[in-house]
Amino acid sequence: MTTKLEDKHAGNGDLVGEGQPYLGEKYQANGKPVVNGRGEISVKQEANGKCGVPRKSLNMYSWQEIQKHNQKSDQWLVINRKVYDVTGWANKHPGGSRVLNHYAGEDATDVFRAMHLDLDIVKLYLKPLLIGELAPEEPSQERNKSSQLVEDFRELRRTLEAMNMFKANPTFFFLHFVQVLILETLAWLIVWHFGSGWPVTIFISCLLTISQCQSSYLQHDLGHLSIFTKSKWNHLMQKLMMSHCKGLSTCWWNHRHFQHHVKTNIHPKDPDIDMGALFLLGELQPVKFGKMKIKYIDYEKQHLYFYMVGLPLLMPVYFNLESMKVMCLQRYWEDIAWVSSFYIRHFITFGPFYGIFGTILLIYLVKFLESPWITYVTQMSHIPMRMSKEENRDWLSAQVLTTCNAEQSIFNDWFTGHLNFQIEHHLFPTMPRHNYHKVAPLVRSLCAKHGLQYVNKPMLEAFGDIVRALKKSAALWMDAYYET
């Protein structure tokens, strides 16, 4: 059943008062509780915003009932007051099954709007999954969320849509693509003209490192559907930038990255804060390891070996091995073909100068140089921020508390691919990055209105905060570990 995203339902948070019935009960349309826990109301089908003939009767549910369906084998979620059973659909979800599971039993209205480009197409998939709606007495979101804050954020989004802030500038992205093309071509021309000596190899490695980082930012834009108006063109170009230009699996990246976006810094749902036994992040994991007397590594020095392990090895070792493992185990044949083209291209262009073994060394030298750049940029906005178990916060609070910005400058914008505006990016993932600086003052104002701290710091300070956060977590581990 299609629903209007911006509809305002009478059953909002303002109805919650002293006369609010017990959450565990279900209600019929006349307001009387139902003995078996289910009531039915007649609903009308909406098509293109117009009411049609009655379609079928839908069950009405309380939040307490919905929140019970939060398991992998039983997943319900709420979008615009409509209740959907996504259990059978989860494994077919283009963004990965875990994204849906992370929101099972919760209101997913804002994250649904944030992550999807063409709502009309997505709603077609929702139709057969519709099983009911919230009872009229129920608020539109869980009671721990501020209905005023939620509505203010949705009003902000409507304002930004009216301002065309979600419309991409083709020239901006074309120039960034040309930048990558020029760097790749120039590197080959230099080797062809000057040979493959060490000075030339080091110089072209720097050029290729810049190309790789800028390719990362472009594939990131494409993965979030923020360049083209058609999803298929975003997906195709992301294959080109991620798999052909960088040699990494697009499906692996998207499934991992979307989890990070929908549940940022939430244990254990965000894979970006799961460093295994190598690094202990935040406050919960260090204390847990300390109390369990776990010491796989000398964790009190993790802020030091971050420079030796975390910075140089993220891209050439962890990301590459993880991408290959997932790609092969999940049999992402299309990704395998695209990634193979990355290596074939390098063997064709650089093989005559370096040989097969030398070309492989060149590839991983570039990844080694790229790694600190990408690590600093991606980790500065989240590692120093709040990490917790599931708190089921509203979309605005969840992103602002776990994300911070770095100050704007022309260099910072280029160096980070505009990820110095992580707050705006996390709130509006499909927004083209060249509009973040225009949106930031409005987001900051909304945060101030609702008492949320909007963190914006110099970029070098943000880099340093990664190490300071690791050192703080190490101290928590030591206190718990040596506690008698």
Token pair for residue 84?
Answer: 């959907």
End-to-end CA distance of the chain: 59
**What is the DSSP pairing of strand 82-85 with strand 74-79?**
antiparallel
Please report, for the chain, how many H helices and E strands are present, in that order.
Answer: 20, 10
**What is the DSSP pairing of strand 388-389 with strand 82-85?**
unpaired
d(CA 269, CA 263) in angstroms, rounded, equals 6
Residues 464 and 383 sit within 8 Å (Cβ to Cβ): no
- pTM (predicted TM-score): 0.86
Residue % of the chain over a pLDDT of 90: 84
pLDDT less than 50: residues of the chain: 1-54
What letter represents residue 365's amino acid? L
| pLDDT score for 40 | 39
Residues in CB range of 140: below 8 A, 6 or more apart: 9, 11, 12, 13, 81, 107, 109, 134, 147, 150
What letter represents residue 479's amino acid? D
Q: How many CB atoms lie within 10 A of CB 17?
A: 6
Entry field: residues in the chain: 484
Token pair for residue 462?
Answer: 């943000």
d(CA 272, CA 395) in angstroms, rounded, equals 19
In sequence order, the β-bridge partners of residue 59 are 40, 132
| pLDDT score for 457 | 97
d(CA 85, CA 107) in angstroms, rounded, equals 13
Residues 85 and 75 sit within 8 Å (Cβ to Cβ): yes
- Domain residues of the chain, as ranges? 59-143, 170-268+302-372
The third-level CATH classification (topology) of the domain covering 59-143 is: Flavocytochrome B2; Chain A, domain 1 (3.10.120)
Q: H or E element: which one contains 125?
A: helix 119-126
Residues 209 and 369 sit within 8 Å (Cβ to Cβ): yes
| pLDDT score for 119 | 86
d(CA 465, CA 180) in angstroms, rounded, equals 30
d(CA 100, CA 91) in angstroms, rounded, equals 9
| Nearest of 147, 66, 79 to residue 114 by alpha carbon | 79
| pLDDT score for 48 | 39
d(CA 27, CA 404) in angstroms, rounded, equals 43
Four-residue CA torsion sign, 390, 391, 396, 402: negative
Q: What is the CB-side half-sphere exposure of residue 366 using CA atoms within 13 A?
A: 24
